[in-house]
Amino acid sequence: MESTASIKLDIRQLTPTDLLAIVEGMGEPSFRAKQIDEWLWKRSVRSFAEMTNLSKALRDQLEQSYVINTITEDKVQHSADGTIKSRFRLHDGHLIESVLIPVPEDNRFTVCVSSQVGCSLTCKFCATGQMKRHRNLEAAEIYDQVVLVNAQALEKFGHPLTNIVYMGMGEPLLAYRPMLESIERITSPEGLNMAPRRITVSTAGIAKMIERLANDATKVNLALSLHAADDDKRNEIMPINEQNNLAVLMDSLSYFYQQTGNRISYEYIAFQDFNDSLDDARNLLKLCQRFPVRLNIIEYNPIDGADFQKASEHRIDDFARYLRERGVMVTVRRSRGKDIDAACGQLANKG
């Protein structure tokens, strides 16, 4: 039998205009809508009973018609390097993961959030890509990840989050509406009031959606999961490239930069004897000269069912040096949280 909660609408799916109309329809003054909105987003309450400046009658009315579908902590793992991976259970039983990456020496505390349950893109090196995509997350479910991981950061490190990266489970640009709504709520003074420049959306490369992001005048940064600088190699590891080849992607990124001026970065996992040669670096250099770009070279984290190996440190260093000497801004990122399967490409609800 279907539960009563399952047929109630999540009140956080209502727009402020919707909420105002509902409150006035209940015979309440219009300012109640603002109070409810503040409880839901700024204070992130998990029940109507906590809305203590509303009358009990109004709280009961809301309870009868609506639900707050919050996410709940299912499992937390702590890495030796300070990284914390959280598995969250959604209202329908699905599981997702978020990762807190602390870098206290740089005063940087980043949360990596998921945007989908699973993923449909089947990138060969990614554990999430081996999962079925069940559904997109709602904006509130993305928002809740930030709220709960921020509480972790405050409790564990005495410092709030400084950055948000949409680099967890799923492809953010295929969950476009909830992704954008979550960013609007996170950056709103009525929400978490975080600066858009502290947020980065990562994509495997969907050209038409990159252009849509530009047209929507977003102020967030954009990261392309590149991982290969020629189409043959990229097709091999990222099937999405067959419909969004590098020429098309570069045009969409040029458009994004022209329209927004926002920062663009390339994420480039270095695989041994696949994309770590100086020839690969030369191909990559061409892609770094179209518009200002930052390059993050990432150490590969092995996953079950994939044959790739991480490139050696000296190959990565030679690769990075070649590009730096030619004016590319390069950061080599060593893995964080790989002992708890929390590193790049490892999120798969294990354990």
Strand order of the β-sheet with 329-333 is 72-78, 84-89, 95-103, 108-112, 163-166, 199-203, 221-225, 264-270, 294-299, 329-333
In this structure, are 227 and 270 located in the same domain?
A: yes
Query: Going by C-beta distance under 8 Å and a sequence separation of 6 or more, which residues neighbour residue 2?
Result: none
Give the pLDDT score at 303.
Answer: 74
pLDDT at 56: 96
Q: Pick from 67, 99, 121: which residue ends a domain?
A: 67
User: What is the per-residue pLDDT for 25?
Assistant: 94
Query: Does residue 347 sit within a domain?
Result: no
183, 202: one domain: yes
Q: What CATH number should be reported for the domain holding residue 46?
A: 1.10.150.530
State whether 48 and 80 are in the same domain: no
- Tell me how many domains the chain contains: 2
CA 276/CA 228 separation, integer angstroms: 9
Please report whether residue 346 resides in a domain.
no
Question: What are 174's two structure tokens?
Answer: 């295929």
Domain that holds residue 137: 72-340
Going by C-alpha positions, the residue among 173, 282, 284 that lies closest to residue 227 is: 284
pLDDT at 128: 74
Domain ends where: 67, 96, 115? 67
Indicate whether 76 and 62 sit together in one domain: no
Q: Residue 344 catalytic?
A: yes
The CB density around residue 328, as the number of other CB atoms within 10 Å, is: 19
Backbone angles phi, psi at 100, to 5 degrees: -100, 120
CA distance 309 to 348: 19
The whole-number pLDDT of residue 39 equals: 97
**Catalytic: 141?**
no
Same domain as 258, residue 118: yes
The answer to whether residue 194 sits within a structural domain is: yes
Question: Phi and psi for 329 in degrees, rounded to 5?
Answer: -80, 110
Per-residue pLDDT of the chain (351 residues; tens, 9 = 90+): 344 445 889 999 999 999 999 999 999 999 999 999 999 999 999 999 999 999 999 999 999 999 999 999 999 999 988 999 999 999 999 999 999 999 999 999 999 999 999 888 878 778 776 777 889 999 999 999 999 999 999 999 999 999 999 999 999 999 999 999 999 999 999 999 999 999 999 999 999 999 999 999 889 999 999 999 999 999 999 999 999 999 999 999 999 999 999 999 999 999 999 999 999 999 999 999 999 999 999 988 877 767 788 899 999 999 999 999 999 999 998 766 666 565 554 555 554
Round to whole Å and give the CA distance between 180 and 57: 34
Contact (CB, 8 A) for 327 and 75: no
Residues 132 and 15 in one domain: no
> In three state form, how does the secondary structure of the chain look?
CCCHHHHCEEHHHCCHHHHHHHHHHCCCCCHHHHHHHHHHHHCCCCCHHHCCCCCHHHHHHHHHHEECCCCEEEEEEECCCCCEEEEEECCCCCEEEEEEEEEHHHCEEEEECCCEECCCCCCCCCCHHHCCCCEECCHHHHHHHHHHHHHHHHHHHCCCCCEEEECCCCCHHHCHHHHHHHHHHHHCCCCCCCCHHHEEEEECCCHHHHHHHHHCCCCCEEEEECCCCCHHHHHHHCHHHHCCCHHHHHHHHHHHHHHHCCCEEEEEEEECCCCCCHHHHHHHHHHCCCCCCEEEEEECCCCCCCCCCECCHHHHHHHHHHHHCCCCEEEEECCCCHHHCCCCCCCCCCC
Please check whether residues 162 and 56 belong to one and the same domain.
no
Which of 28, 73, 97, 313 is the catalytic position?
97
Has residue 86 been placed in a domain? yes
First to last CA, the chain: 30
Q: Do 12 and 94 sit in the same domain of this protein?
A: no
Residue 180 in domain:
yes
What pLDDT is attached to residue 129?
Answer: 66
Per the domain annotation, does 149 fall within a domain? yes
Please report, as a single letter, which amino acid is at residue 3. S
Domain end (from 20, 52, 67): 67
Query: For residues 127-166, b (16+ Cβ closer than 10 Å) or e, as one string?
Result: bbbbbebbebbbbbbbbbbbbbbbebbeeeeeeebbbbbb
- Dig out the tokens for 9 from the structure: 């609408």
C-beta separation of 186 from 143 below 8 A: yes
12 lies in the same domain as 85: no
Q: Which CATH number do you get for residue 298? A: 3.20.20.70
Q: How far is CA 319 from the centre of its chain?
A: 28
Same domain, 39 and 60: yes
Backbone φ/ψ region at 205: left (φ over 0), alpha (ψ -120 to 50), beta: left
**Could you tell me if 217 and 281 lie in one domain?**
yes
What confidence score (pLDDT) does residue 163 get?
Answer: 98
Same domain, 92 and 26: no
Phi and psi at residue 317, to the nearest 5°? -65, -40
**The predicted structure's pLDDT at residue 5:** 45
Evaluate whether residue 349 is within a structural domain.
no
Quick check: is 294 in a domain? Answer: yes
Q: Which amino acid, residue 69?
A: N
